[in-house]
Amino acid sequence: MTPRAPRSPVPLEICHLAKAIEAIGDRWTLLILRSSLFGVRRFDDYQKELGVPRTVLSGRLSKLVKAGVMAKQSYKEEGKRARPEYVLTEAGEALRPVLMALTQWGDDWLSKGATPPISFTHAKSRQRVRPGFVDEDGKETTLSEMRISLRR
């Protein structure tokens, strides 16, 4: 276990985790990202699904666009006029594993015995897959095999 420390080895101001928390670490933003990872793209669809106040939604989407996590685009369905949509950028899509890991944490620790409503398996082998860490060859590295290095 981690020994007691009066403070973290990485100062807050240069910590990339702290920056990530600053960018997406609030309730509505995380819920918006959840919806968009499920394919929701339109303003009113977010609003209806989450029940988020429209003003707040507007602000959060702008912030996500400015942060480069989402992009505002136009799409056009046949015979209908163009409408805006908010889609994940590559950076946003890269959050999928993070939120999947958080989903499984919820499965494991927040739901007393309930069968998860969504589960992740390997398409062919049907084995359950879980979040972990892999090296460049795709082999798992456990926390105890891992070395955490601080830049001086």
Residues numbered 8-67 forming contacts with a copy of itself, rule: CB under 8 A: 8-12, 14-23, 25-27, 30-31, 34-35, 37-42, 45, 48-50
Distance of alpha carbon 78 from alpha carbon 76, whole angstroms: 6
Helices 54-66 and 27-37: crossing angle in degrees, nearest 10, is 80
Q: Is-contact 120 108, C-beta < 8 A?
A: no
**In this chain, which of 76, 81, 113, 125 binds a copy of itself, going by CB under 8 A?**
125
How near is the Cβ of 122 to DNA at its closest, in Å? 36
Which run of H or E residues covers position 85? strand 83-88
Which option in DNA, a copy of itself, none does residue 56 bind, with CB closer than 5 to 8 A by kind?
DNA
Which token pair is 63? 């912030």
Which option in DNA, a copy of itself, none does residue 71 bind, with CB closer than 5 to 8 A by kind?
none
111 touches a copy of itself by CB under 8 A: yes
Distance of alpha carbon 49 from alpha carbon 32, whole angstroms: 9
| List of residues contacting DNA (CB under 7 A) | 26-28, 42-45, 51-56, 58-59, 72, 83-86
